[in-house]
Structure 1
């Protein structure tokens, strides 16, 4: 029986448009009690998020996790800085990668794995405007090719 793919909670669709993804790393996220409940309700926005390495630790910044409706006074700040759980070697590698100019760490998707919230962090390099236009042209051309092949096979 195939695994269900509905464990993906949030995806950063804009990331592949704005950045060239060099590599990816899976990281755990330290969440508070009401945060994990909001995550399970799929109330997460990764759009403006990014990750930073500070003092040998990785942090996820600017990721919006909406307050839990039944949380009242136990609710959290939606944009608080959250710690990422990574091995020391992984953190050292990420830090070395981000020393290069134009390279940043962005969250690509958040998902549940064995009941734990995980984030797929992408090591990304920003695209220029002409690169974005080139990608859109390439997608249009591929779409046209697939259409003509589909019509030909009828």
Structure 2
């Protein structure tokens, strides 16, 4: 009763030959939109073997944070890290690509590919491996691929 359950909520279940009493209670959760601003805490808490800080900030991270994209469908999830605010604009390859605005989260990978960035690490590794094998085959070379270097 202290949990708001009634006798009608009680069920009995057999677990490994022993009967137990159960009460299922539904507790409403938070929406994704309410939770996602907490991504800031996840990013800030990340640790890497080598960290760096920049400017007058005491905050350390693996690389300088130049931009942040945080989208849920077509909405920007607002938060900031240091003086960088979330947006829908991301950057392509630093020499070959350009900045691109994302209409929604679903087009992230496609838009980056158009700007010469393969966002998916597994796809990037596969592409590099295929290219190395093709070059080796075309030149009659034998290359021992070190997976740790890919």
Q: TM-score, normalised by structure 2?
A: 0.23
- Structure with the higher strand share, 1 or 2: 1
Q: Which structure is larger by alpha-carbon Rg, 1 or 2?
A: 2
Where relative contact order (Cα < 8 A, 6+ residues apart) is larger, the structure is: 1
Q: TM-score, normalised by structure 1?
A: 0.23
